[in-house]
Amino acid sequence: MSTLTQRLANPTRFMRLSGRILPWLSVAALVVLGIGLWLAFTAPPDYQQAHTVKIMFVHVPSAWLAMGAYLLVAVSSFGLIVFRHPLADVAAKAAAPLGAAATLLALVTGSLWGKPMWGTYWAWDGRLTSVLVLFLLYLGLIALRSSLEDEALAGKLTAILAIVGVVILPVIKFSVDWWQTLHQPSTRFTQSLDPSFRTPLLVMAAAFALGFAALHLKAMRNEVLRRRLRASTINLARGAPATMGPPAEPANLGEAAG
């Protein structure tokens, strides 16, 4: 019997299943986000940071999401290189812009948080610099892919870069332990936070995760449809007869679009 991963490797099955899940996932993300925002606005001010502490409810989930999205890109890239998973390249391509947006949001909100706390918007310390490197790595993946017309080659090269670049994740995680830094030490997954701050933070983190999942599924669906359209256009240009039904699924979406 085929595994769930093998069944989802078929783009037609993926499109059918994701089409059913996406509306519910989007609604869940909006509901949880609404609850998280309400909890964030009603949270009490901190005795040191006052209301500035509430930036944490956006900054921390976006930072977690930035790292999680890159891990997804790296794992998907590994799946493309090693297992030639038909949807691995689609998943990696769809996740990169979302991860870049989350990283930029983490940098911006971190700067807004840092100004009243540290007296400066930016400092070249370990945590801030390593997150900036992550953002530049995301941009490099996007630029490399868009600079190559051969999509199969672009997928393989960006996959190699993504796998090599995964070393930045432990650097970000342990930077506050390895070097002296303005950034506060780890909260041990919020265990050191007061419950009045921990609950809104965890709800906002769940909202960000659900929102990312919905946007990622939507981006993957768009990419599958784009590659199908491109493959159909190439077939028509070669004189193949057009059909009204869905195109036959290639063994590898990247090869079909290449």
Q: What is the pLDDT of residues 216-236, one digit of tens each?
A: 999 999 999 999 898 888 888
Torsion of CA 224, 154, 165, 122, to 10 degrees: -80
AA letter at 184 = Q
Least confident of 157-161, 189-193, 254-258: 254-258
Residue with tokens 């199969």: 152
Q: Which of 65, 39, 40 is nearest to 54 (CA)?
A: 40
Q: Over the stretch 99-146, which tens digit does the pLDDT of each residue have? A: 999 999 999 999 998 888 888 888 888 888 999 999 999 999 999 999
Give the chain's length.
258
* pLDDT at residue 220 in the model: 96
The token pair at 200 is 């809104």
Residue for token pair 């393989």:
156
Q: How confident is the model at residue 247 (pLDDT cuts 50, 70, 90)?
A: very low
R_g of the chain, CA atoms, integer Å: 21
Find the mean pLDDT for residues 203-212.
Answer: 97
Place of tokens 């009243």: 116
Give tens-digit pLDDT for 64-73: 999 999 999 9
Model confidence at 258: pLDDT above 50: no
- The pLDDT value recorded for residue 193 is 75
